[in-house]
Amino acid sequence: MAKRLGSHTPTQYRYLPSKSNDCEFAVQTYENTGRKIQKWQENLLKEILGINEDGLWTHTKFGYSIPRRNGKNEVVAIRELRGLLKGEKGLHTAHRTTTSHSAFERLIKLLNDYGFVEKEDFRALRQMGLEKIEMIGEYDGSLSFRTRSAKGGLGEGFDYLIIDEAQEYTQDQESALKYVVTDSKNPQTIFCGTPPTMVSSGTVFVDMRDNVLDGRSKNTGWAEWSVDEMSDIRDKELWYKTNPSLGVIFTERSIEDEIGKDEIDFNIQRLGLWLKYNQKSAISQKDWERLKVNAIPKFIGDLFCGIKYGKNGTNVAVSIAVKTLSGKVFVESIDCRNIRSGNKWIIDFLCAANIKNLVIDGAGTQSILESELKEQKMKIKPIFPTVKEIIIANMKWEQAIFQECIRHNNQPSLTDVVTNCDKRLIGSQGGFGYKALFEDKEIALMDSAILAHWMCTENNTKRVKKQKVRY
C-alpha cells in the first residue's frame, strides 16, 4: 500500500501564465547538495521562477502561505541558491534576528554540501544581524541577511528581496524596503509566511492576499494551503489537504501530539486558517455599512437571543439573531439598561418572543436571571458560554462581518458601538474579545449581538456531552 502524502496542490492560488521557467536549473543545483526536492516545492518554484515573453520574471511579486514545519523556507533557500550561482544580488529579511541568522546558516550548509569551499569559492560575513554571502570567481552572486526595521535597507539596491515571516511585515517596514529592488533590471519580491495570529502586527501580507485573490493585483502570484473556516481539528482529511509535507517531514502522530485546548490556534498554525484582521484591527464604518438592509428581510428558522451583563456591572444588553431567506444572519439589539432596573424587562421580552434558546454571559449576575426564569417556569434552558466559546463567538462574528454574512437595520446605538471598538486579548491561549474605544460606549450591546449571532449560526440548542473515559 502506497504511503499517503499531503496534497501537492494549494487550496487557493493565482498564477500568471509564463512562457518558460528557470526551475530545472534551480532544482538540479539544489539536488546536487544531496537533498531531494518535494513535488509541491518544485511546482511552486516553477511559478516563482516563471519567465515571460520579455525574458523577465512573470511575477515581480509572489507570496505563499503554508502551515508550520512544512518546509516553506526550503523553497526560499532554493531560490537564493539559484541567485548566488546566477549572479543576482539578494536581500533576505526576517522579523527576528534568529530567523535571518538561521537562513544564513542554511545557505552556508547548502553551499558546503554542493562542494563549495569557504574563502576559496565564497566569502561569509558572520556578524550577527549583518550576515552576508559573496561568491568568488565565475559566480558573482551575493546575499545579505537583515532583521527588518522601519529604516532597514534604505540606500541599498538588490535584484530580489525575500520577506520571511511575512505575517509580521508592517507598512512602515514595507515603505523602507519596497524600493530596494527598483533599480534592478529584473526585480522580484517573495513573501513567505503563515497566516497571522491574533497578536501578529503585520498587515501587508493580509492586504496582499486579499488583493491577489480579488483580482486587484498586477504581476503578482499567490499560493496557500488553508481551510476557509474554523474546522474540526481531528479531521485527518484536512490535515492532508493543508499540509503538503505530511508523510514526508512529519507524520499523523506528530499532528496528534499538537492537538490541545486551543482550537483556534490549531486552525491557524496547522490548518492554515486566515483570520481576516490582526490584533490591531477594528470594525470600520464602511465595513458595517455594507451589511445594512433597506427593508427587513424575510426570516426563516428560529429566533435566538444573546444576553450580556457588562464588564463593570452597570448595564445589561439583549440582542436577537435569526437566519434570513438569503442565508444571512440578521441581528438586532432589543435594549441596553442599567442593572438597577432589574431583569423584569428581559423576562417580559423572553415570555413574549418565540425564542428557541438563549445564551447569557456575565459572571455572578447571570445566575440571578437563571433563577428568575425558573420561577417563571420557562422551558428555555439558557447556555452559559465558556471562555473558549466566547473566543469562538467573537472570531465568527468578525469573519461574518468581513465575509458579509451578517445583516442589520442600522440601529444607531448598535452601529455606534460596533464602529467604535477595538480588540482585547482574553483567555490564556491568544483569543480576543472587544472593548469600546470611548467610555460612553457600552460594549455589552455588541457582545449580546455576538452571542445571539453565535447561537444562530451554531444552533446551540444542546450541548454535546463529553465522553467519559474510565480505566
pLDDT recorded at residue 155: 67
Asked if the model's pLDDT at residue 364 lies above 70, the reply is no
pLDDT recorded at residue 141: 94
At residue 463 the predicted structure's pLDDT band, cuts being 50, 70 and 90, is very low
In a domain, 77, yes or no: yes
Q: Mark whether 264 and 348 lie in a shared domain.
A: no
90 phi, psi to nearest 5 deg: -120, 160
Q: Mark whether 260 and 300 lie in a shared domain.
A: no
Average pLDDT score over residue span 431-447: 86
pLDDT recorded at residue 363: 62
Which CATH number is 185's domain given? Answer: 3.40.50.300
Q: How far apart are the first and last CA of the chain?
A: 35
Most confident of 51-60, 172-181, 297-306: 51-60
Q: Mark whether 222 and 289 lie in a shared domain.
A: no
Report the percent of the chain where pLDDT is more than 70.
93
Asked if the model's pLDDT at residue 280 lies above 80, the reply is no
CA 307, distance to chain mean position in Å, is: 29
Q: Mark whether 49 and 82 lie in a shared domain.
A: yes
Q: Mark whether 44 and 190 lie in a shared domain.
A: yes
- Give the neighbor-by-neighbor strand order of the sheet with 89-94: 12-14, 220-224, 61-65, 188-193, 160-163, 89-94, 142-147, 132-135, 122-125
- Cα–Cα dist 123/140, whole Å: 11
Which CATH number is 417's domain given? Answer: 3.30.420.240
At residue 436 the predicted structure's pLDDT band, cuts being 50, 70 and 90, is confident
- Cα–Cα dist 270/258, whole Å: 9
Q: Mark whether 206 and 332 lie in a shared domain.
A: no
C-alpha distance from residue 400 to each of 46, 199, 286 (Å): 36, 20, 15
Print burial letters for 419-447: b (CB count within 10 Å at least 16), e (below 16): bbbebeebbebbbbbbebeeeebbbbbbb
Q: Mark whether 236 and 341 lie in a shared domain.
A: no
Range of the domain at 80: 12-269
Could you report the per-residue pLDDT of 180-212, keeping only the tens digit for each?
Answer: 999 999 999 999 999 987 667 788 999 999 999
C-alpha distance from residue 124 to each of 53, 83, 110, 120, 182 (Å): 36, 16, 13, 11, 26
Of the three residues 269, 294, 329, the one that is the final residue of a domain is 269
Of the three residues 213, 244, 269, the one that is the final residue of a domain is 269
Asked if the model's pLDDT at residue 438 lies above 90, the reply is no
Of residues 355 and 113, more confidence is placed in 113
DSSP-assigned letters across all residues of 105-164: HHHHHHHHHHT--BTTTEEEE--TTS-EEEE-TT---EEEEEE--SSTTTT---SEEEES
At residue 424 the predicted structure's pLDDT band, cuts being 50, 70 and 90, is confident
Q: Mark whether 131 and 232 lie in a shared domain.
A: yes
Q: Mark whether 149 and 291 lie in a shared domain.
A: no
pLDDT recorded at residue 462: 45
Asked if the model's pLDDT at residue 470 lies above 70, the reply is no
C-alpha distance from residue 358 to each of 293, 392, 463 (Å): 25, 17, 13
Average pLDDT score over residue span 407-435: 86
Residue 272 near residue 65, CB atoms below 8 Å: yes
In sign, the C-alpha dihedral spanning 232, 66, 74, 39 is positive
Could you report the per-residue pLDDT of 231-279, keeping only the tens digit for each?
Answer: 999 999 999 999 999 999 999 999 999 998 888 889 999 999 997 544 3
Residue 279 near residue 432, CB atoms below 8 Å: yes
Of residues 368 and 388, more confidence is placed in 388
Of the three residues 269, 294, 328, the one that is the final residue of a domain is 269
Which of 103-112, 251-260, 307-316, 402-411 has the least mean pLDDT? 307-316
pLDDT recorded at residue 4: 93
Which of 100-109, 362-371, 437-446 has the least mean pLDDT? 362-371
Of residues 142 and 470, more confidence is placed in 142
468 phi, psi to nearest 5 deg: -95, 130
> What's the domain count of the chain?
2
Could you report the per-residue pLDDT of 25-43, keeping only the tens digit for each?
Answer: 999 999 999 999 999 999 9
- Paired strand residues for 20: 51
At residue 281 the predicted structure's pLDDT band, cuts being 50, 70 and 90, is very low
Average pLDDT score over residue span 377-395: 87
